[in-house]
Every structure is written in C-alpha cells, then in structure tokens.
Amino acid sequence: MDITRRTAMKVLAGVAPALAWGRRLRAETGIEIHRGPFEGTQESLQQYRVPDWFRDAKFGIWAHWGPQSAVEQGDWYARNMYIQGSRQYDYHVARYGHPSKVGFKDLCPMWKAAEFDPDHLMELYKRAGAKYFVSMGVHHDNFDLWNSRHTRWNAVKVGPQKDVVGLWRTAALKHGLKFGVSEHLWISYKWFAVSHGSDKTGALAGVHYDGVDPAYADLYHDTGCDKWADVHNHEQFGWNDDGIPDSWKHHWFLRIKDLVDNYQPDLLYTDGPLPFENYGYSAVANLYNLSAKLHGGKTQAVYTSKRPEDCAVGTCVLDFERGLANQIRPTPWQTDTCIGDWHYNREVYEQHRYKSAKTVVDMLVDIVSQNGNLLLNFPLPSRGQLDPDESKVLAGITDWIRVNSEGIYGTRPWKIYGEGPSTHSEKPGGGFNENKRQPLSADDVRFTTKRDTLYALVMGWPEKEAVVQALGTASPQSPGKIVNVELLGHPGRLTWTQEVTGLRVQLPAEKPSDYAITLKVAFA
C-alpha cells in the first residue's frame, strides 16, 4: 500500500512515544553496558591488567562524607541509631527523639555542607602528595551523593542541594589528580533492615521504627528486608548477597551504571566483594569499557574488591580494609584506612585520637615497599572543612613527602621489602590487621626501586650512623658494588662504607625530615 510522506510522518509521530518508552524500559530493566574489550562475565574480566598510573600513584586521599556526617557521631550512625542499647541509639534518643518518630530520613536534610570548598581541599591534598582522590558515591545508607536518576534521596535534592561527586571530580581534575568514587550500596538491603525493627524493652517496646513506613520504602527498602530487622550483628546477616532479591540487584546495577556513566571515574571502590555475579561483572565491564572508549581503546580504570578470589587472576585490584599485606604481593594492591572513624566523630577529635603523621608515613612506606597503594580517609565534619587536628596530620604528611617523594612515586618493590625487628615475626596479612603492626624505628628499613636506583628508607633517625645489612657485600640480596649514596633532602656529600656486614652511612648533624629518611643508593 502506498503511503504519503505526510501520512508517514503522522504514523511515526504516533509511535514515537511508544518507541521511546520501549527504549527507556530496556534501559531500566536490562543489563546494558558500553561496548568495548570486556563483557560482563568472569572469564572476560580475567584479561584485565592494572594500569601503570595506579602502580605509580602510591597514595590517594578519600572523603568518607555524607548525610551520616551531619550528627558527627562516627560511622554507621544510620544503622546503629536503630539498635537499642548502642551508643548512637542512646545519643539519638537523647538528642533527636525516638527513631519511631525521628529517623534517618529526618537527619538527611540536616547535612548542609555549608563550608564545602573542594578546590581548597584538593589543593591541600595534592600538596600532601595524593595522586588520586576518591569521593564517597553512596554509602550503606542508600543516599546518593550525585544527581542520581534512580532515587530522590540524593545530595542534589536533599541536604546540601549540591552535586557533591561532580564538585569533587571537577576539583580533582583541575589539580591533576585521578578521580575515584566509592560504592557501599550493594549490602544496604541487609544493612539498613534494622530500620524496620523496634525496641525490645522500655515504654516503646514493640513500636516499629520509621523504616516500616511505606512512604519511605525508597530509602529504607521494602518489607522483604524484614528478615534481617532484628539482626544487630552484621556477621549474623552475612556480609554477602545471600537472600537479596534480583529486584535490588538490578536496581543496584542501574545506580552504579548511572554513577560511572556520568562521572567517568578512574577508580571504582566496592566496600566488600564484587557483588551480584552477572550484575556485578556487568558493572565492572561497563566501567572498563567506558574507560577504554575515553583512552583510545586502552582501559585505564581500576576496580577494587576485598575478596581475594575476585582479583586472583586479572579482574580487579585487591583491597585490604585497615590492613597490610606483610609481604610483596605479585600484583598491585591497596590498603584503605582512616586517620580516625570512617565518618566524622567529634569525640575522636576532642580526645585527640587520630593517627599521627608518623603512623601514616610508616604505613605508606611499608605498603609501597610491598607493591601496594595507601588510600587514606580524612573524614570531614558536617560543614565540609578539616578540623585543626586533621590539618595538623595532613601538614606532617606534606612536610615528609616534600623531601622523600622520589623514593615513593613510580617505584617498584625490591628483592625483599625490608629488614629489621618488624620483619622477623610477620605473617602474610590481610584486612583489619593494622592494629597488630609493630611501631617502626631507626632499626627498620624498607626498600623501593626505580630503574637502576635503590631507595633504602630508614624508618627513624639513627644516632650518627645508619646501617643497612641487606646491602653488605656478603648479603644474598646485594646487587653489587655501591658507587654512591645520597640522603634525600641533604645537599652535602655523605661518608659511607660498604662492608661485609652492611652499608654504613654517617649521617649529618641535622635530619632532613621527620620520621623516615631516604637513602638513595647507586650501584656500579
């Protein structure tokens, strides 16, 4: 049948809304990813290799900051405020009222970020030596820090009314830092189920918290999560995706894809294992393919997982939360840790309980010598600026890195990562072992290399003489005859001897930096 052009246009106009609706429906219900070198399968992702920028960067800074920061009472407030008897529950009831009446939904608008100046903060972080910066994307609290398409609970519509992720990204790129985002969303379905519970004792025993209100199911989740409502120990509900419905997995995928597609991060951190099988593999493949599209066909993005099996062959970078490897790992890895609580805790500041700059430097050197990176969180107060003690710690790191950066950035591990008392009894490490590490002193040495140069970082200021046993002529590690030794930050020549038992270096009267010092060693 013949059809006129005018008739055809009318037909197309009539079906266009349906076609658009169909495309939108596929986008919202399907697993669609950017085309590129990877598919959303475990086998395909095993071909991934870590880009050189991450291996060279060594040090990143993270802002664990969001609506839970509004009350400045530490991490997991949005969960613990619904657990009767917890410190944060008691604080919440005393300050705001019972969680059946005043819940997390009422706290989100309190986070105003009134003094947030990402450009100023990024300038400080760059000066301190950070080569990449990571913004919180979404925590377990189910609140997106970007202009999210998939939830009204986001920082543009509620609270600061600012695109926090976007502002961080702009500042990071302006100052030449790689940009990352963290997602903690996947476990939210279980983690936040306590909001559906109730007190077990007292005047309001049995009165449900505000999480059961269907008007807020998009924040607190649907009634399907009620099976975990009375599980207060996260080990009991299982830090895994068992029992989480496909509807939530699908929703998680769409949220993370929205985050990646719009902010094109160089790094995506997941707080836990790579979740949800094909949904998770597809999210990672989407990240990698988008990166390849932006970098001439070569993937430059990094994804981190805390499950060793995920990263055993390609796929991702293994991350140890508050932990160290205690050995040279064959592929790059990362420690993520914090100078205090993950979310800002006013009590930690008032009691001066942050990690010292020396502790941070010791950890950085230890990790780099073992082929790792350090991602360090500075939790911001509600207003969005560092407190005085945090600024002091950051200044100490800045002073040290200014002198010793050559022995850190762009380096690779040596034959051994170190020598001294702290290396004798250590076993292969993992997550949550940082509180077991021994303090490092002038008797401890850590090694890094860059091309033909060896850096021996002595982890304190020795009295008059530094001794490095591994560089003695009889040492099995010694690469040969030493022809020159320098001390980074010291302009003069050094007196040194290479003996059978070690390299002996006479030190100047004044140390060039606090904490560790760096000997730059050249060989024939």
pLDDT for the residue 424: 59
Residue with structure tokens 């008032």? 350
Q: Name the nearest CA neighbour of 446 among 516, 356, 349.
A: 516
How would you write the pLDDT of the chain (524 residues) with one tens digit per residue? 333 444 434 433 433 333 332 344 345 447 999 999 999 999 999 999 999 999 999 999 999 999 999 999 999 999 999 999 999 999 999 999 999 999 999 999 999 999 999 999 999 999 999 999 999 999 999 999 999 999 999 999 999 999 999 999 999 999 999 999 999 999 999 999 999 999 999 999 999 999 999 999 999 999 999 999 999 998 899 999 999 999 999 999 999 999 999 999 999 999 999 999 999 999 999 999 999 999 999 999 999 999 999 999 999 999 999 999 999 999 999 999 999 999 999 999 999 999 999 999 999 999 999 999 999 999 999 999 999 999 999 999 999 999 999 999 999 999 999 999 988 555 678 898 898 888 899 999 999 999 999 999 999 999 899 999 999 999 999 889 999 999 999 999 999 999 999 999 999 999 999 999 999 999 99
Question: Is residue 185 in some structural domain?
Answer: yes
CATH number of the domain enclosing 476:
2.60.40.1180
Helix (H) or strand (E) holding 172, with range, is helix 164-174
CATH number of the domain enclosing 179:
3.20.20.80
Task: Indicate whether 316 and 422 sit together in one domain.
Answer: no
pLDDT for the residue 1: 33
Task: Indicate whether 443 and 299 sit together in one domain.
Answer: no
Tell me if 394 sits within 8 A of 128, measured CB to CB. yes
DSSP state of 242: T
Question: Is residue 353 in some structural domain?
Answer: no
The residue from 321, 355, 385 where one domain ends is 321
Q: Distance between alpha carbon 56 and the CA centroid of its chain, in Å? A: 17
pLDDT for the residue 425: 53
Task: Indicate whether 94 and 222 sit together in one domain.
Answer: yes
pLDDT for the residue 435: 87
In whole angstroms, give the CA distance from residue 125 to residue 484: 34
For 50, 73, 82, 210, 317, the CA distances from 70, given in Å and listed in that order, are 36, 8, 17, 19, 32
Burial 451-466 (b: 16+ CB within 10 A, else e): eebbbbbbbbbbeeeb
Question: Is residue 63 in some structural domain?
Answer: yes
Beta strands 453-458 and 445-450: pairing type?
antiparallel
pLDDT for the residue 423: 85
The residue from 279, 297, 321 where one domain ends is 321
Task: Indicate whether 425 and 315 sit together in one domain.
Answer: no
Task: Give percent helix, percent strand, percent coil of the chain, each to the nearest 5.
Answer: 40, 20, 45
Q: Which residues contact 229 (CB under 8 A, 6 or more apart)?
A: 193, 194, 195, 196, 197, 211
Question: Is residue 92 in some structural domain?
Answer: yes
pLDDT for the residue 302: 98
Question: Is residue 485 in some structural domain?
Answer: yes
Question: Is residue 506 in some structural domain?
Answer: yes
Residue with structure tokens 């059946």? 100
pLDDT for the residue 426: 57
DSSP state of 366: H
Question: Is residue 147 in some structural domain?
Answer: yes
Look at the chain and report how many structural domains it folds into: 2
In whole angstroms, give the CA distance from residue 260 to residue 288: 10
- Catalogue the long-range contacts made by 242-248 (C-beta closer than 8 Å, 24 or more residues apart): 243/190, 244/189, 244/190, 244/276, 245/189, 248/189, 248/221
The residue from 275, 297, 321 where one domain ends is 321
Q: Which domain holds residue 472?
A: 418-523
Question: Is residue 17 in some structural domain?
Answer: no
For 123, 135, 416, 502, the CA distances from 119, given in Å and listed in that order, are 6, 13, 40, 47
In whole angstroms, give the CA distance from residue 312 to residue 42: 12
Tell me if 474 sits within 8 A of 377, measured CB to CB. no
